[in-house]
Amino acid sequence: QVTAKTAFLFILPQYNVSVPTADGELVQYHYGLKDLVTILFYIFIAIVLHAVVQEYILDKINRRLHLSKVKHSKFNESGQLVAFHLTSLIWCLYVVVTEGYISNPRSLWENYPHVYLPYQVKFFYLCQLAYWLHALPELYFQKVRKEEIPRQLRCIALYLLHIAGAYLLNLTRLGLILLLLQYLAEFFFHMARLVYFTDENNEKLFNVWAIVFVVTRLFTLTLYILVIGFGLPRVESQALDPERGNFFSFLFNNVLFRMSVLLLVCLFQASVMWRFIHFQLRRWREYWNEQSSRKRAAAAGTKQQSKPLKRDSGYHENGVVKAENGTSPRTKKLKSP
């Protein structure tokens, strides 16, 4: 029995509370230090699943494709992220639909702070934190090149900052919608990379990703403006109350603070869009340069074929060139006396 209690500490979310409702009591959860033990357990689970996907799926595909070392590393990275983003996308969509966050957008800020979480919301956040923390030792296990490590560390840090910030500041509902939009765009990007590595002439999914990326950025910016600009300033409880989980909603009554936050959000989204536009322009430039070089090569080949062939004087008879008088044009070799 003692062992079972210890096992539950690792496997199940902790800090459950019975919240009275109109229909009776509802079991919900809040966060605490014991969550670190649960996250640690699921870090090991994520490492095992990562190894299974690598060995039984990605390595078998890599042996058939015969990719270079650079493409091999990028293929493994995109393959792992496609599996993770697809799973998280379906899971996150299920959570936000069943909890009614999409059908009722006002629930994103109503009754803030959202201290008590449903089981599936808390478990989702714990698994997300575990996955992105497991990505740190995976940089060593996967023998990632030194040039790629800073980029991947920035990506991991941004995800951890977003997920942990939403979890600790009781903005879990807003965080779920933002994660759903982000994972949707990332899924199409890494899926397009996988298709490109198998067939370099197939770039159709990159065009789909470009459309999805722009749409998700617009939705993300609109959601920030809606929640930060209009939602949180209308929260009834505006006093600073860390014990109840109300950390900063009182700040949004200050117009200057609210506008500063929105300005930072807009600048960040603008920088993301600028990098995206720069990437698309470079890709289109490479595409048109490749097309023009192919056209020049085809035109040069056609010109060579259209040149008239130089004919020998005389006529051919049984494959031998004869002069006009019937004699062979070759000089006869004189016999030595």
| pLDDT score of 159 more than 90 | yes
Structure tokens at 31: 């966060």
What's the whole-number mean pLDDT along residues 32-38? 91
Q: What is the three-class DSSP state of 53?
A: helix
Q: CA 214 to CA 188: how far, in whole Å?
A: 12
d(CA 134, CA 115): 26
Q: What percent of the chain has pLDDT over 70?
A: 82
* pLDDT top residue among 188 and 5: 188
pLDDT, position 110? 82
Domain ranges of the chain: 1-295
The per-residue pLDDT for 236 is: 63
Q: At what angle do helices 172-198 and 119-141 cross, to 10 degrees?
A: 40
Task: Report d(CA 12, CA 158) in Å as an integer.
Answer: 26
- Asked if 19 and 116 count as a contact pair (C-beta separation under 8 A), the reply is yes
Mean pLDDT calculated for residue range 254-270: 80
Q: What is the mean pLDDT of residues 258-277?
A: 85
This model's pTM is above 0.85: no
Mean pLDDT of the chain: 82
- 321 pLDDT tier (thresholds 50, 70, 90): very low
Per the DSSP assignment, residues forming a β-bridge with 19 are 26
Q: Is residue 216 over pLDDT 80?
A: yes
* pLDDT higher at 92 or 337: 92
Confidence label for 319 from pLDDT (cuts 50, 70 and 90): very low
Report residue 238's pLDDT band, with 50, 70 and 90 as the boundaries: low
Q: Report pLDDT for 290.
A: 77
Distance from C-alpha of 254 to C-alpha of 12, rounded to nearest angstrom:
40
Q: How would residue 17 be classed by pLDDT, with cut points 50, 70 and 90?
A: confident
